[in-house]
Amino acid sequence: MEKNARIRRLGRNEKTPYDLLLLADESIESINKYIFDCEIYVLELENKIVAEYALQQINDEEVEIKNIAVTNELQGQGIGKMLLKDAEDKARLRGFKSIAVGTGDVATKQLNLYQKCGFEIFGMKKKFFVENFPSPIYEDGKQLKDMIMLKKKL
Protein backbone atom coordinates (compact mmCIF):
# COMPACT_ATOMS: atom_id res chain seq x y z
CA MET A 1 0.00 0.00 0.00
CA GLU A 2 2.71 2.50 1.07
CA LYS A 3 4.53 2.20 -2.23
CA ASN A 4 1.83 3.82 -4.34
CA ALA A 5 0.07 5.84 -1.65
CA ARG A 6 0.12 9.59 -1.67
CA ILE A 7 -1.80 12.28 0.12
CA ARG A 8 -2.45 15.41 -1.89
CA ARG A 9 -4.69 18.41 -1.82
CA LEU A 10 -7.76 18.09 -3.98
CA GLY A 11 -7.78 20.70 -6.73
CA ARG A 12 -10.52 23.32 -6.88
CA ASN A 13 -11.79 21.93 -10.16
CA GLU A 14 -11.92 18.33 -9.01
CA LYS A 15 -15.12 16.70 -7.83
CA THR A 16 -15.68 16.56 -4.08
CA PRO A 17 -15.56 12.84 -3.12
CA TYR A 18 -18.99 12.87 -1.47
CA ASP A 19 -19.15 9.08 -1.36
CA LEU A 20 -16.29 9.12 1.15
CA LEU A 21 -17.41 12.24 3.00
CA LEU A 22 -20.80 10.61 3.51
CA LEU A 23 -19.15 7.84 5.56
CA ALA A 24 -18.45 10.51 8.18
CA ASP A 25 -21.54 12.68 7.85
CA GLU A 26 -25.25 12.26 7.39
CA SER A 27 -26.06 14.08 4.18
CA ILE A 28 -24.69 16.20 1.36
CA GLU A 29 -26.65 19.08 2.83
CA SER A 30 -24.82 18.86 6.14
CA ILE A 31 -21.46 18.44 4.38
CA ASN A 32 -22.13 21.51 2.27
CA LYS A 33 -22.44 23.61 5.43
CA TYR A 34 -18.66 23.44 5.90
CA ILE A 35 -16.95 21.86 2.91
CA PHE A 36 -16.62 24.98 0.73
CA ASP A 37 -14.64 26.55 3.55
CA CYS A 38 -12.25 23.59 3.84
CA GLU A 39 -9.14 22.31 2.15
CA ILE A 40 -9.68 18.67 1.19
CA TYR A 41 -6.78 16.24 1.27
CA VAL A 42 -7.09 12.86 -0.37
CA LEU A 43 -5.17 9.61 -0.28
CA GLU A 44 -4.82 7.94 -3.63
CA LEU A 45 -3.99 4.35 -4.32
CA GLU A 46 -3.35 3.51 -7.93
CA ASN A 47 -5.09 6.73 -9.00
CA LYS A 48 -8.21 6.01 -6.97
CA ILE A 49 -9.21 8.22 -4.05
CA VAL A 50 -9.64 5.90 -1.05
CA ALA A 51 -9.54 8.26 1.92
CA GLU A 52 -9.87 11.94 2.71
CA TYR A 53 -9.89 14.59 5.37
CA ALA A 54 -11.21 18.13 5.27
CA LEU A 55 -9.39 20.86 7.16
CA GLN A 56 -10.94 24.19 8.10
CA GLN A 57 -9.12 27.17 9.53
CA ILE A 58 -10.93 28.29 12.69
CA ASN A 59 -8.71 31.28 13.55
CA ASP A 60 -5.02 32.28 13.40
CA GLU A 61 -4.11 29.59 15.91
CA GLU A 62 -6.39 26.66 15.21
CA VAL A 63 -7.58 24.36 12.47
CA GLU A 64 -10.31 21.73 12.69
CA ILE A 65 -10.74 18.43 10.92
CA LYS A 66 -14.35 18.66 9.77
CA ASN A 67 -14.55 15.29 8.06
CA ILE A 68 -12.27 12.24 7.89
CA ALA A 69 -13.01 8.94 6.20
CA VAL A 70 -11.41 5.81 4.83
CA THR A 71 -13.19 3.65 2.26
CA ASN A 72 -14.90 0.69 3.97
CA GLU A 73 -12.64 -2.05 2.56
CA LEU A 74 -9.48 -0.33 3.84
CA GLN A 75 -10.60 0.62 7.33
CA GLY A 76 -8.67 -0.74 10.31
CA GLN A 77 -5.31 -0.80 8.54
CA GLY A 78 -3.76 2.36 9.92
CA ILE A 79 -4.87 4.79 7.22
CA GLY A 80 -6.95 6.87 9.65
CA LYS A 81 -3.91 7.35 11.88
CA MET A 82 -1.82 8.26 8.86
CA LEU A 83 -4.35 10.93 7.79
CA LEU A 84 -4.47 12.42 11.29
CA LYS A 85 -0.69 12.64 11.38
CA ASP A 86 -0.64 14.25 7.96
CA ALA A 87 -3.20 16.86 9.07
CA GLU A 88 -1.16 17.62 12.18
CA ASP A 89 2.08 17.94 10.22
CA LYS A 90 0.50 20.28 7.69
CA ALA A 91 -1.07 22.47 10.39
CA ARG A 92 2.16 22.60 12.40
CA LEU A 93 4.23 23.54 9.35
CA ARG A 94 1.86 26.40 8.65
CA GLY A 95 2.27 27.75 12.17
CA PHE A 96 -1.03 26.71 13.76
CA LYS A 97 -0.92 26.00 17.49
CA SER A 98 -3.64 23.39 17.77
CA ILE A 99 -5.84 21.05 15.79
CA ALA A 100 -9.39 20.11 16.77
CA VAL A 101 -11.85 17.41 15.78
CA GLY A 102 -15.41 16.60 16.82
CA THR A 103 -17.16 13.26 17.09
CA GLY A 104 -20.45 11.79 18.23
CA ASP A 105 -20.96 10.94 21.90
CA VAL A 106 -21.47 7.25 21.10
CA ALA A 107 -18.70 6.96 18.50
CA THR A 108 -16.35 4.73 20.51
CA LYS A 109 -14.12 3.74 17.61
CA GLN A 110 -13.50 7.31 16.55
CA LEU A 111 -12.88 8.45 20.13
CA ASN A 112 -10.33 5.63 20.51
CA LEU A 113 -8.55 6.76 17.39
CA TYR A 114 -8.35 10.43 18.35
CA GLN A 115 -7.30 9.75 21.93
CA LYS A 116 -4.63 7.26 20.84
CA CYS A 117 -3.29 9.96 18.56
CA GLY A 118 -2.97 12.39 21.46
CA PHE A 119 -6.19 14.40 21.15
CA GLU A 120 -7.83 15.39 24.43
CA ILE A 121 -11.48 16.15 25.12
CA PHE A 122 -11.99 19.85 25.80
CA GLY A 123 -15.68 20.40 25.35
CA MET A 124 -19.03 19.27 24.15
CA LYS A 125 -21.58 20.71 21.76
CA LYS A 126 -24.72 19.73 23.64
CA LYS A 127 -27.53 18.31 21.48
CA PHE A 128 -25.57 19.02 18.29
CA PHE A 129 -26.91 15.93 16.51
CA VAL A 130 -30.45 16.51 17.74
CA GLU A 131 -30.66 20.14 16.70
CA ASN A 132 -28.74 20.07 13.41
CA PHE A 133 -30.35 17.14 11.64
CA PRO A 134 -33.95 16.59 10.57
CA SER A 135 -34.23 13.11 12.08
CA PRO A 136 -32.46 11.14 14.84
CA ILE A 137 -29.12 9.55 13.98
CA TYR A 138 -28.24 6.14 15.37
CA GLU A 139 -24.85 4.48 15.62
CA ASP A 140 -24.67 0.87 16.83
CA GLY A 141 -28.29 1.19 17.96
CA LYS A 142 -27.62 4.25 20.15
CA GLN A 143 -28.86 7.73 19.36
CA LEU A 144 -26.19 10.34 18.75
CA LYS A 145 -26.91 13.46 20.81
CA ASP A 146 -23.88 15.52 21.78
CA MET A 147 -20.73 16.23 19.81
CA ILE A 148 -17.54 15.65 21.77
CA MET A 149 -14.79 18.09 20.87
CA LEU A 150 -11.15 17.07 21.08
CA LYS A 151 -8.00 19.07 20.58
CA LYS A 152 -4.28 18.46 20.25
CA LYS A 153 -1.53 21.01 20.82
CA LEU A 154 0.93 21.17 17.95
Using the minimum distance from each CB to ligand COA, give the nearer residue, 78 or 136. 78
Query: How many residues can be counted in the chain?
Result: 154
User: Do 86 and 118 form a contact (C-beta atoms < 8 A)?
Assistant: no
Could you list the beta-strand ranges (E) of the chain.
6-9, 38-45, 48-57, 62-70, 98-104, 120-125, 138-139, 142-143, 147-153
Is position 97 an interface residue for ligand COA (rule: CB under 6 A)? no
Closest distance of CB 153 from ligand COA, Å:
20
Interaction of residue 132 with ligand COA, rule CB under 6 A: no
The span of 1-9, 67-75, 91-99, 129-137 binding ligand COA (CB under 6 A) equals: 67-75
Closest distance to ligand COA from the beta carbon of 111 (Å): 9
User: Which x/- pattern, by CB under 6 A, does the window 8-27 give for ligand COA?
Assistant: ---------------xx---
Q: How far is CA 65 from CA 2, 21, 28, in A?
A: 23, 12, 17
Q: Does 94 bind ligand COA (CB under 6 A)?
A: no
Provide φ and ψ at 10, rounded to 5°.
-75, 130
Q: Which of 43, 50, 68, 149 binds ligand COA (CB under 6 A)?
A: 68
Between vectors from CA 35 to CA 3 and to CA 79, what angle results, nearest 5°?
A: 25
Which one of 112, 120, 123, 143 is in contact with ligand COA (CB under 6 A)? 112
